[in-house]
Amino acid sequence: MRHALLLSAALLAAVPAAADRDVEHRFQSLVPRGRVQRVLIDIPAGSFTIRNGAAGHIGVSGVASRDYDGARERAWAQKVVDDTSVEVYISGNEAVVRRKFGRNADSWRAQKFTGIDLRLDLPPGVDVEFETTAGEVDVAGDFGDVTVDLRAGEVDVKLPRAKVRELNASCRVGEVRTNLGTEIVSKEGLFPGRTHYFNAKGKTHVNVHVTAGEVDITLVQ
């Protein structure tokens, strides 16, 4: 399909491609929640998995990776990923999740082509917002407001139906599939339109948009 080809091209341009030879660095941290009620993921591209964790902490784990060309570049690439991780900056009731670069990764080339595969374990009920351009986003659990707006990629969201007050899901080129619990709404193609859901008894707002790609929303009982 045309939208699938466009998505593939956009993802190849925006996200570091997988290679036969690459180097990796695994990172992990646990940060006290404090008064945080909103979590902002400020990472341009990558793969993101968001789940519920302990009420008092924000859990971060993942992999920084990049490919390399030849043995000489391998040593440099390993230093880059070893100096690349993800940190949580807390200011009042907001936590910003962002990339952290050490001296060996402090260059445009190092930062641009290093991929991030991230898992966040967040307290139930916190708002989640992405400032991400491209990649894969997988959100499942009990959260507050959820906001995702990608230029290219795939978004999969599963949330409790009873807690959602308003849902808007859309894309410009691609497919939007929404399981509302009582019906499944599927739209695809060029400008397939927006799926809207409203529940007066709910409290949270969910807004998901992808310029080119796929959106899959499931409201669970």
* Tens-place pLDDT, residues 148-191: 999 999 999 999 999 999 999 999 999 999 999 889 999 999 98
Residue 137 is assigned to a structural domain of this protein: yes
Residue 71 — very low, low, confident or very high, per pLDDT cuts 50/70/90?
A: confident
Residue 70 is assigned to a structural domain of this protein: no
| SS3 at position 79 | helix
Residue 190 is assigned to a structural domain of this protein: yes
Tens of pLDDT, residue by residue over 97-128, are 999 999 999 999 888 889 999 999 999 999 99
Mean pLDDT of 24-31: 97
CA distances from 145 to 155, 165, 168, 211 (A): 15, 10, 12, 21
Q: Tell me, what's the pLDDT at 19?
A: 45
Q: Tell me, what's the pLDDT at 1?
A: 45
Q: Tell me, what's the pLDDT at 55?
A: 97
Residue 81 is assigned to a structural domain of this protein: no
Residue-range definition of the domain harbouring residue 42: 2-21+34-60+87-98+118-220
- The DSSP letter of residue 24 is E
Burial class (CB in 10 A: 0-12, 13-18, 19+), 152: buried
Q: Tell me, what's the pLDDT at 20?
A: 55
Residue 50 is assigned to a structural domain of this protein: yes
Residue 67 — very low, low, confident or very high, per pLDDT cuts 50/70/90?
A: very high
Lowest mean pLDDT among 20-29, 60-69, 73-82, 157-166: 20-29
Beta bridge partners of 147: 129, 207
In percent, how much of the chain has pLDDT > 90?
83
Mean pLDDT of 195-203: 96
How many domains does the structure of the chain reveal?
A: 1
Residue 16 is assigned to a structural domain of this protein: yes
Would you say residue 44 has pLDDT above 70? yes
pTM: 0.88
Would you say residue 53 has pLDDT above 80? yes
Residue 108 is assigned to a structural domain of this protein: no
Residue 28 is assigned to a structural domain of this protein: no
Lowest mean pLDDT among 9-18, 26-35, 118-127, 143-152: 9-18
Beta bridge partners of 51: 121
